[in-house]
Amino acid sequence: MKRLAWGIFLFLVVLFIPQIWLKIKYKKLIHGEIDTIPVKEYAIVFGAWVNEDRSLSDITRERVESGIQLYKTGKVKKLFLSGDNRSNQQAEAMTNYAIANGVDSRDIVIDKLGIDTNDTCKHFANVDHEGILITQGYHLPRTMLMCEGSGIKIRGLSADKLGVLQNRGDNLLQIYSIRIWRATLKHC
């Protein structure tokens, strides 16, 4: 029994060491408030799920809203909106939402081929070499590593710290339950 417990413990340590290392490495570059963000030319908004009716999922809306807040407060001049347009038109839905909420279409760069985080970083590196990454906190350290690897000087904004969603939950079980219920209610 002790061997099994040690085996499970070692497995979990190996599983979580990279994430812990990344959190420590990027801690000083991750912001949870708009006021602490330095002014930059671009915010890079990473796409996520878009519903069949082309409305944004909570995660995607939270990211785009965060970008809109940076734009409206003058912290960024432009939004780089990236998403996978192969099936559910993520980038276009994100762009339409941003424009409907006050972002000038001339201040948006659309990346329709942002199939994954690494693609988005590579595509942005062809546009500029400095930007504010916008995604949820759990995703930021890995995202920062990938964008830094593409030669981008980065800062991160943790979208889940801005209070965009009215009810996020206090722990993983609540968060998961809320997401499941929201999705279920939307499709009933």
pLDDT tops 90 at residue 13: no
| All domains in the chain, ordered by first residue | 29-186 (3.40.50)
pLDDT over 70, % of the chain: 87
pLDDT band with cut points at 50, 70 and 90 for residue 172: low
pLDDT band with cut points at 50, 70 and 90 for residue 178: low
10 Å Cβ neighbour count for 127? 15
Q: Which of 81-90, 128-137, 141-150 has the lowest mean pLDDT?
A: 81-90
Q: Which residues contact 46 (CB under 8 A, 6 or more apart)?
A: 63, 82, 83, 114, 117, 120, 133, 134, 135, 139, 143
Strand pairing category for 153-158 and 130-135: parallel
pLDDT band with cut points at 50, 70 and 90 for residue 187: very low
| pLDDT tens per residue, range 49-100 | 898 888 998 889 999 999 999 999 999 999 999 998 777 689 999 999 999 9
Q: What one-character DSSP code corresponds to residue 46? A: E
